[in-house]
Amino acid sequence: MTAGKTAAVAMSGGVDSSVTAALLVEQGYAVRGVFMAFGQPDLAAQIERVETVAAALGVKLDVIDVADVFRAKVLAYFRDTYLAGRTPNPCVVCNPNVKFGRLLAAARALGVDLLATGHYARLDRIGERVRLLKGLDPKKDQSYFLHRLDQNQLASLLFPLGDYTKEYVRELAAGFGIAGVHGSESQDVCFLQGTTVVDFLEGQGATGSGGEIVSTAGTVLGHHHGIHRYTIGQRRGLGIPDATPYYVVGLDAVSNRVLVGKDEELWRDSLDMRDVVWLAGKPPVLPCRLLVKIRYHHPGAVATLEASGDSGLRARFDAPQRAVAPGQFAVFYDEDEVIGGGEIV
């Protein structure tokens, strides 16, 4: 079935991408590896590790320079979103612009038919339409991060690990003889290796200026050293003693204020979104009821989606949700299928 089919595998040196490559070799694909060089501080060491895995699998490796688009589309977005008092999700932005944008284009230029990654998600092809589905392992499902891909991108992809659990993937690595070859697990935000969000931002010149920490009633309770140091729901580091803890409930970049309140003030029964995308290319008939995840580790909550404003969308939850963070993405599901998503405003 795969005779003559070519596939590039986005290889990082970790177990997921290494097993992805091994599976496709086993399935009869003509496989070559592609590695994204985006300016990692340990770039030479990473390339050496990926070359070791590729050699063990008998796969040719190409290093693709994506540093320019990564800086423009991901790092600038990450910095600017924090400075604007919102909470970014760089993986959601990187996937359509870099991994399945620039890297996919480079893979196509190499003459391959498909690009495969180690994402825990599934694809279901029905005629010319491709549906994006949750990975079968609920602890590793990564469909949330892929919700902004379009049909053209989805049609060129393979996610061989979508039907597997992480534990089984580790067993496969041992079976393929690469358990001692691949590197350690990569962290969620790949460019934060060995540093914190605050240190990274301030290394990028995002120092910000100090301002007031105020209650929802407008009482000044303390002072902060830059709103980029805070996110919605944060409890630690506020320095405001009280009988019950305060949490960050809002960030006002215009007045340079951190708004704090008690736990009950973190709950919202609705949220508004902008820049909404629909994976089928067009929205469902509104209003409609879907499961909405307000961040990656959120279990999802049933909500009614309805039009809001000229081009926005509102989700009204059946039950209030805690710590809704502007800048994060709300992603909509119909059972296992990703329907779409938008940036929370």
φ/ψ bin of 194: left (φ > 0), alpha (ψ from -120 to 50), beta (otherwise): left
Q: Are 12 and 34 contacting, i.e. CB atoms less than 8 angstroms apart?
A: no
Structural domains of the chain ordered from first start = 6-192 (3.40.50.620), 208-261 (2.30.30.280), 267-344 (2.40.30.10)
In the set 63, 67, 190, 288, the catalytic residue is 190
Q: What is the C-alpha separation between 114 and 108, in angstroms, rounded?
A: 8
Beta carbons within 8 Å of 123's beta carbon, 6+ residues apart: 130, 131, 132, 133, 154, 157, 158, 159, 162
Question: What pTM did the predictor assign?
Answer: 0.94
From the CB of residue 266, how many other CB atoms can be counted at a distance below 10 Å? 18
Measure the CA–CA gap between 9 and 114, rounded to whole angstroms: 9
Report whether 293 contacts 333 (CB < 8 A).
yes
What is the per-residue burial (b if ≥16 Cβ within 10 Å, else e) of 31-44?
A: bbbbbbebebeeee
Distance separating alpha carbons of residues 132 and 335, to the nearest angstrom: 11
Who contacts 240 (Cβ-Cβ below 8 Å, separation ≥6)? 213, 221, 222, 246, 260
pLDDT tens across the length of the chain (345 residues): 455 689 999 999 999 999 999 999 999 999 999 999 999 888 999 999 999 999 999 999 999 999 999 999 999 999 999 999 999 999 999 999 999 999 999 999 999 989 999 999 999 999 999 999 999 999 999 999 999 999 999 999 999 999 999 999 999 999 999 987 765 565 668 888 778 999 989 888 777 789 999 999 999 999 999 999 999 999 999 999 999 999 999 999 999 999 999 999 999 999 999 999 999 989 999 999 999 999 999 999 999 999 998 779 999 999 999 999 999 999 999 999 999 999 999
Q: What is the pLDDT of residue 310?
A: 79
Q: What angle do CA 140, 98, 326 make, to 5 degrees?
A: 65
Site of tokens 């990703």: 338
Residue 1 has a pLDDT of 43
Residue 303's H or E segment, with its range, is strand 301-308
| DSSP track, 86-151 | ----HHHHHIIIIIIIIHHHHHHHTT-SEEE---SEEEEEETTEEEEEE-S-TTT--GGGGTT--H
Residue 190 known to be catalytic: yes
CB 164 within 8 A of CB 136: yes
Paired tokens of 334: 């119909």
Is 91 catalytic? The answer is no
Catalytic residue, candidates 57, 94, 324, 344? 94
Say what the pLDDT of residue 184 is: 58
- Using omega within 30 degrees of 0 as the cis cutoff, is the peptide bond preceding 287 cis? yes
Tokens of 125: 């092809």
Please give the single-letter amino acid code of residue 293: K
Q: Tell me, what's the pLDDT at 275?
A: 96
